[in-house]
Chain A
Amino acid sequence: MSKYRKDFPCYEHYPNLAYLDSAASSQKVACVLEAMTKTYTERYANVHRGIYHLSDIATGDFEAARVTVGKYFNANPDQIIFVRGATEAINLVATSFTQEFLQEGDEVIISRMEHHANIVPWYRLCHEKKAKLVVIECDAKGVLDMDAYRNAFNPKTKMVALTHISNVLGTINPAKEMIAIAKSHQVPILIDGAQAAAHIPVDISDLDPDFYTASAHKMYGPTGVGFLYVKKEHLKGMSPYQSGGNMIASVSFDDITYLEGPMRFEAGTPHIAGSIGFARACEYMMDVGMSYIQSHEQALLMYLQEQIETVDGLEVFGQAPNKIGIVSFAMKGVHPHDIASILDEDEVAVRAGHHCAMPLVKSMNQPALTRISLGLNNNERDIDQCIKSLKKVREIFSA
């Protein structure tokens, strides 16, 4: 039994819910919601503007949130930009950074196991610049081909964007090595940490990427907020992404001076309460401890992998030795949507579809997959409930 399950108010409303879709979005912890309510009720005004007391409080809380998020990822808060989420962060880097120097014939490295969020912005940019998108493949187990990655670099390589953890396979990629290789070729690298942030320790100072991003909503925090870490040497040279208020030093109709630092990329009123909620989620996980989170989820993953063997006709995709609690599978003769509908009747919530990773799912010769993903809120009972329901699917479809 997870001792932290009680921290998730969704179970007060759905006591029998087996929520196994944290990789899509995690359920929320009470302290995050309380922190956001407190912001809106007791400590709210716009930030970076007002002279009055409440604005000062809100600004203090908002900037403290940046410090907390920096602490969670061991990064300097002056290099943490608040964004809507990882998708916006990647678009920001593609637009405000890579677009500035990418030329016709240049190459951008991504991998087969990227989420659409880390494919589409690069595809569009490459298309516009007549540059080439170079895709690193992974093997049948879902392990990235590191030799192919090493060999992919040439003088034309100008950007690398790779995921830390696959949202379909659960594979934990060797981020530190991937970054070191890119660095040895003097090519900037972005790591998409959307699936990593809530499940493994992420030490940005140690990893030392050029860019790192994650979304709060997969970290027991609110939707609509995430962060982008930018290496200091890039922060100064990057052009603004969106423009407007909050990001300028001075404006006249003849000349505009932009702010330096993260605020240059935070045009308009930011998601104040969301950022504070995000920081509270980071604090919550630091209180629980990443070592507990990892051992809890690894134990559940072992149990799930053992139990799923007892269901007939399943093929599991993603058997990397180093993976988080994500198990994607196909059931012979049954479409994932039918599986998910039947599981739903037993209050088991799983994801069915292409998981915003169509190039990966297609490479497995599957139209779609069913995915079980684990989090701090899960326990063995959730898995038992899911396995029982999967056996029911088998029965219904073999009648």
Chain B
Amino acid sequence: MHDLYQELIIDHGTHPRRFGPLPEHTHHERGHNPLCGDDLTLYLKVEDGVIEKVRFEGSGCAISMASASLMAERLEGLSVDEAKKLFEKVHSLLSGTPVEGLGKIEALSGVCKYPMRVKCATLSWHALMGALEQSSEATEK
């Protein structure tokens, strides 16, 4: 089995889940890596502190797309605090610390051996943190 390109990564990378717009989003953030061109926008619908719906759009390498897809699947139903804790765990995983209980996301563990590609995997997760730091667009409107 390939370290980096596990079947699950290829699957999510080429057929990303939760892909598309989310007009009713309350938070959104763009993740852009100008050096490699990975570019995605993450949309969240947060209600009463719970992430109810997640979608993302954009283009990029299989690692960035798979990471965003796996993240989007996992986030739905989590509280904002749980999502922030999940970010910390994934951050550790991608830095080379074994982390348990991440389920499918653990398929990304091989990325830490490829320092040039870590930024691809973290792109959507940083967009998540950026989105959550903003105040709800719903209350602003």
Interface residues of A (CB under 8 A from B): 333-338, 341-342, 352-354, 367-368, 396-397, 399
Please name the residue on chain B nearest to A362 by beta carbon. B37
Over the window 107-132 of chain B, the binary record of Cβ atoms lying under 8 Å from chain A Cβ atoms (1 yes, 0 no) is 00000001011001000000000000
Q: Which residues of A contact B2 (CB under 8 A)?
A: 396
Given known A338-B5, A341-B4, contact A353–B36 (CB-CB < 8 A): yes
Taking the nearest CB of chain B, how far is it from the CB of A348, in angstroms?
A: 15
Residue contact A367 to B10, C-beta cutoff 8 Å: no
Known: A354-B37, A367-B37, A397-B14. A335 touches B61 (CB 8 A): yes
The answer to whether A353 and B35 touch across the interface, beta carbons within 8 angstroms, is: yes
Q: List chain A residues, Cβ under 8 A from B35.
A: 353
Contacts of A367 in B (CB 8 A): 37, 39, 59-60
Q: Does the CB pair B63–A338 fall under 8 Å?
A: yes
Q: Are B36 and A338 in contact (CB under 8 A)?
A: no
Q: Are B36's CB and A397's CB within 8 A?
A: no
Smallest CB gap from A366: residue in B: B37
Cβ of B71 < 8 Å from any Cβ of A?
A: no
Residue B137 at the chain A interface, CB threshold 8 Å = no
7 cross-chain pairs, A with B, having the tightest CB-CB distances, nearest first: A335-B61, A337-B61, A367-B37, A338-B62, A368-B37, A338-B61, A396-B5
Chain B CB count within 10 A is highest, among A334, A335, A341, for A335
Question: How far is it, in angstroms, between the C-alpha of A215 and the C-alpha of B90 when the chains are bound?
Answer: 43
**Interchain CA distance A352-B36 in the complex, whole Å:** 8
Is residue B7 within 8 Å, beta carbon to beta carbon, of the partner chain?
yes
A368 — nearest CB in chain B belongs to which residue? B37
Shortest distance from the beta carbon of B1 to any chain A beta carbon, whole Å: 11
B37 near A353: Cβ-Cβ < 8 Å: yes
Residues of B within 8 A of A399 (CB): 7, 10
Q: Enumerate chain A residues within 8 angstroms of B10, measured Cβ to Cβ.
A: 396-397, 399
Alpha-carbon gap, A396 to B62, bound state (A): 12
CA distance A368 to B33 in the complex (A): 12
Complex Cα–Cα for A338 and B14 (A): 11
What residues of chain B lie closer than 8 Å to A336, measured between beta carbons? 61
Please report the C-alpha to C-alpha distance between residue A108 and residue B37 in the assembled complex, in whole angstroms: 28
Please report which residues of chain B, range 36-67, place their CB below 8 angstroms from some CB of chain A when the two chains form the complex.
36-39, 59-63
A342 close to B62 (CB less than 8 A): no
In the complex, the chain B residue whose C-beta lies closest to that of A334 is B62
- Contact A341 B117, CB 8 Å, known A367-B59, A396-B5: yes
Task: Tell me which residues across on chain A come within 8 A of B116, comparing CB atoms.
Answer: 341
A sample of 5 cross-chain residue pairs with beta-carbon separation below 8 angstroms, ordered by A number, consists of: A335-B62, A342-B4, A352-B36, A367-B37, A397-B5
Instruction: Name the CB-closest residue of B to A354.
Output: B37
Q: Assess the B36–A368 pair: CB atoms within 8 A.
A: yes
A337 and B10 alpha carbons, distance in the complex (Å): 13
Chain B residues numbered 1-49 whose CB sits less than 8 Å from any CB in chain A:
2, 4-5, 7, 10, 13-14, 35-39
Within the complex, what minimum Cβ distance (angstroms) separates B41 from chain A? 15
List the B residue with the shortest CB-CB distance to A353.
B36
A252 to chain B, nearest CB (A): 47
Q: Which residues of B contact A335 (CB under 8 A)?
A: 60-62
- How many Å from the CB of A115 to the closest CB on chain B? 16
Measured between alpha carbons, how far is A333 from B114 in the docked complex, in Å?
22
Which B residues are in CB contact (< 8 Å) with A341?
4, 114, 116-117
Chain B: minimal CB distance from A282 (Å): 32
| Given A338-B63, A352-B36, A367-B37, 20 further pairs, Cβ under 8 A | A337-B63, A337-B117, A337-B120, A338-B61, A338-B62, A341-B4, A341-B114, A341-B117, A342-B4, A353-B35, A353-B36, A367-B39, A367-B59, A367-B60, A368-B36, A368-B37, A397-B5, A397-B14, A397-B62, A399-B7
Closest to B35 in A: A353
Residues of chain B contacted by A342 (CB below 8 angstroms): 4-5
Q: How far is the CB of A355 from chain B (nearest CB, A)?
A: 11
CA distance A368 to B14 in the complex (A): 16
**CB-based nearest A residue for B60:** A335
CB of B55, distance to nearest CB on chain A (Å): 20
Nearest Cβ distance between residue B63 and chain A, in whole angstroms?
A: 7
Most buried by A among B2, B36, B39, B120: B36
The complex places the Cα of A334 from the Cα of B60 at a distance, in Å, of 9
Q: Which residues of A have CB within 8 Å of B37?
A: 353-354, 367-368
- Tell me the complex Cα distance, A367–B61, Å: 10
In the complex, residue of chain A having the shortest beta-carbon distance to the beta carbon of B116:
A341
